[in-house]
Amino acid sequence: MKIKLHRIAHARAGDKGEITNVAIFPYREEDYPRLQEALTPEAVKGHFTGLVTGKVIRYDLPYLKGFNFVLHGTRKGGVSAALDLDAHGKAFSSALLEMEIDWPEE
């Protein structure tokens, strides 16, 4: 079945220049391996089609049971040049939590 990521995880975002990072942490540690399979860099980049123009890199944080995604090309010219409402890119964490992923029925 498909579920939205926010049902099983929380997130935090930050940015520097044209790069935004989003950290994802499951509410339950036992969900980490399933998220590791579902949240590939390709899947995250696909979710942000049109918003992320560069590469997406995932850093696994196994001891913390989380992931840090680095999204290149999110702010043309950086924060001071951004023309959109969320100039700092913090909405990327909420937007990623809206991603639908395949999840086994429980």
pTM, full prediction:
0.87
Among the CATH numbers 3.40.50, 3.40.960, 3.30.70, 3.10.590, which is that of 2-76+88-102?
3.30.70
Q: What is the 3-state secondary structure (H, E, C) of the chain?
A: CEEEHHHCEEEEEEEECCEEEEEEEECCHHHHHHHHHHCCHHHHHHHCCCCCCCCEEEEEECCCCEEEEEEECCCCCCHHHCCCCCCCCCHHHHHHHCCEEECCCC
For residue range 52-92, what is the model confidence (pLDDT) as tens digits?
A: 999 999 999 999 999 999 999 987 655 655 555 554 567 88
Q: What are the boundaries of each domain within the chain?
A: 2-76+88-102
